[in-house]
Structures are given as C-alpha cells and as structure tokens.
Amino acid sequence: MISPTLDDFLKLAEQGNLIPVTCRILADIETPLSAYRKIRGQGESFLFESVEGGEHLGRYSFVGCNPRAVIKQTGGRVEVIENGKVVEQFEVSPETGRDALPRVQADQQVGPAAIAGKRQSMTQTYVPRFMRAGRRLLPGTRANRLRQNGAGWIVEATHRSVGGLRVAADALFLCAGAVQTAALLRRSGLRSNIGNSLQVHPTVKIVARFDDRVNAADMGVPVHQVKEFAPRLSFGCSISSPAYLALGLIDHPAAARETARTWPHLAVYYAMITSEGRGTVRGLPGFRDPLVRYALTENDRRNLADGLKKLAQILFAAGAGELFPTLARGPVLHGPGCLSKLPETLPVGVANLMTIHLFSSCPMGEDLGKCATDSFGRVHGFKNLFVNDASLLCTAPGVNPQGSIMALARRNALRFLGKT
C-alpha cells in the first residue's frame, strides 16, 4: 500500500516541495539484516535499530540508502559530502569534541554532568530545582482520599511523623503509577473507567549457569536482547545480583543454596510477552493497599510457554550448561535435548511470573464509554484533576514504556501551562 494517494500528494505539493512517500510491504520472513542487504545498493547505506531509554531495543528498524548528504569525520576533520563532492569542511577541537560542531546547540544541555553523559537521579536534577523554586516535599506521606473544595481540591493525607494533614490545591496532578493512581481515585469515589483495564507485560524467567564467568558485582542490568519476535516476544538479561539469583531459583532450592559460591557463573534471563489479558485495581475495606488481579488468556499462556522454550534455545546456543526455569516443580535443563520437558501451554498456577511494566488503568481518550481521562490526562467531568503517569497508556506497547510515559507527561504539563 502506497501512501499518500496521488490526489493527496498533489494537494501536499501545493504546500511544499518535500513530501514523504511510503510503501507498506508484507515481510513476515524478513529480518532487519536481510532487508538491509537487499536495499543497500552500491553507495552509502545504513541500518539503525530504535532504542528505549538507552537500555532496551525498541520494535523498529530503519534502513536507508543513497543519502542526500554524508557527514564524515576523520580525527578532528569533518566533511559534508553531496553527490560525491565535499561541499563543506571544518576542524573540530579535540578538547571540546562534538560540542564544537556547527549547528549543535550545546547550550541546551543542562549542567556539566549532562554533557559528560553521567546518569543522574531526580534527587540530583529535578528535585533541587523544585526546592530552589520555593516548593516543599513531603516524604513519608500517604494520600488517603481526594475531596473537592469549591473549585479546587483537598488531599487528605497521613504523615508518618505528624499524623493527619490536609493539602489544598487549585489543580491536582496524580502521578502514583498504574496501581496507586487508580486506587486513590477509586477511594475518592471516582470509578468511571478507572481501575478496570490494567495491562502488564507478563514475564517468565530462566536462571542460566555458564562455565565462563558472566556476572560481576557492578554489572547492573546488561543490555543484550533478542527482538526478532517482537512485539509478541522479547528476550533479554535481567538484574543478576546474588539476591535476585536466589529469588529466581526459588523453585530449585538446591541450586539456590549454592548462589553464594556460584553467582559469578549465573545470570537471570527473561521472556516477555505482549499480553491480551486485562486486570483490575480494587480497594479492600480494612487494608492499606489495593487488591490487583490480572487474568491471562489462553493465548497468553501459549506465548509464555513459547517464549520460555525459545529463551532456552537461545541460552544453550550461547553456551549455557544448565537452565533453571521459574516453574513450580519444573525440570532442570541440561541441553537442547531437554526442551521437550517444557510445556506447550503454561499451566495455570505453575509459573512464577513477574512484570515491571504496569499501565492502562486510567486510559486516556475522548470515548467516555472507555476512557478515564481526555487525551491530555484531564479526568473526564473535572476541570482541574489530572492523571499524568503510566495509567494513561491505552494498551501494552510491547517495549519498555518509560520514554513514552515521559513524553506524554511533559506534553500534558506544557499543555496545562499554556505552552503548547
């Protein structure tokens, strides 16, 4: 299918002279690399993979050839080449590196640590700016209920030292995550399309043992992943500290007892699916936290089993000697010949599943029959009550949602401030 149509193209051509034309092609048996090899031609070409948050591969690949221009850097010399000819060239200072390149707006970066690429938490970035602006933080405070107060809102809360307190606000933004945002709204009597459509990325794990050392105390979260089957299935390495290894081996107690000695040769790997299931968030009388329920579909359980088997194949191909799936009373796998011991469909109650991605409990949109907020996070029926977190996502994206959540939150805040 070619887009835009000829009629639309001619209309767009009246407004400008650069109109993208796309063609959608069914390519079920192609991989990004095979597509690149067919498209690249004889000249300059590229293959880019999309990235989420600097750590997770996204679902898109970008292949291009015959570029309009090429920017080439050799040492400190930079050349801009068009049609095989150098049309611009300049030198880059080795002390300043890329920040000296023309047209790069280095002054838009915030602070020297950002230029150096150092990862920082909000306690080093946004929170100090917030405090310098005269604002107050109330750590150790739990919001119990929201009440309307004329045109504004009262947050009834409990502080761990002071006890009960009330916070008055003209406008209120809720950013407590997909579970607690929905729970707070429901405790406050707001229930329309709230807490009824929770979505997650169900994940099953395997602890793998290698003869080589694959783990280190400062390893963090490794970034090697497999995205060939995305968004249905995604594979990668997870946090593999001794404590997490022992937790991952809870179904294999003999191996768990040895983690203090064997952990340098162990790592935790996951298979994550894009689920069809839905969950709910409900408050329970007398309990502090809500009850969260999530129902997998039959297809979800088939995909989890398929993901578990494919993950085992990947790990054996990578040199693993033993695999410990997170299955109650599950087998220890010693080689590819043991894969037949894994179920074709994950039985109910057998797998110790987990997820770190929760969203969609207060979906955004203009359909009052399905959505809790409008497209900018404002709760339907209220002028000054907003949701601005993962609760807004309408469906499971199949990738790490952090970048999307941050972009939506920023967009909604700018809209509220009248800057968009």
Q: Return the number of other C-beta atoms located less than 10 Å from residue 384's C-beta.
A: 16
pLDDT at 110: 40
203 contacts 271 by C-beta, under 8 angstroms: yes
pLDDT at 111: 41
What is the torsion angle, in degrees rounded to the nearest 10, for the CA atoms of residue 342, residue 346, residue 349 and residue 355?
100
Active-site residue flag, 357: yes
156 contacts 184 by C-beta, under 8 angstroms: no
pTM, two decimal places: 0.69
The amino acid that residue 130 corresponds to is F
The amino acid that residue 23 corresponds to is C
- Among 228, 226, 212, smallest CA distance to 320 is for 212
- Record the tokens describing residue 315, joined without a space: 């790990």
- Which residue is it, tokens 């300049």? 90
267 contacts 214 by C-beta, under 8 angstroms: yes
pLDDT at 65: 85
> Alpha-carbon distance 36 to 58, whole Å?
17
> Alpha-carbon distance 253 to 242, whole Å?
14
Domain spans in the chain, listed from the N-terminal domain onward: 2-65, 71-102, 124-170, 202-341
pLDDT at 87: 80
- Among 205, 203, 204, 206, smallest CA distance to 321 is for 206
The amino acid that residue 67 corresponds to is P
Residues of the chain with pLDDT under 50: 53-56, 95-116
pLDDT at 269: 96
Catalytic residue among 56, 201, 252, 357: 357
pLDDT at 52: 53
> Alpha-carbon distance 297 to 299, whole Å?
5
User: What values do phi and psi take at 174, rounded to 5?
Assistant: -100, 125
Distance separating the N- and C-terminal Cα atoms of the chain: 34
Long-range contacts of 213-216 (CB under 8 A, 24+ apart): 213/264, 213/265, 214/264, 214/265, 214/266, 214/267, 215/240, 215/263, 215/264, 215/265, 215/266, 215/267, 216/264
Q: Return the number of other C-beta atoms located less than 10 Å from residue 390's C-beta.
A: 25
Residue 324: C-alpha distances to residues 186, 205, 248, 329 (Å) = 41, 9, 8, 11
Strands 385-387 and 172-174: parallel
206 contacts 269 by C-beta, under 8 angstroms: yes
155 contacts 146 by C-beta, under 8 angstroms: yes
pLDDT at 11: 85
> Alpha-carbon distance 143 to 176, whole Å?
10
> Alpha-carbon distance 100 to 91, whole Å?
9
Q: 188 exposed, middle or buried (CB, 10 Å; 0-12, 13-18, 19+)?
A: buried
pLDDT at 51: 59
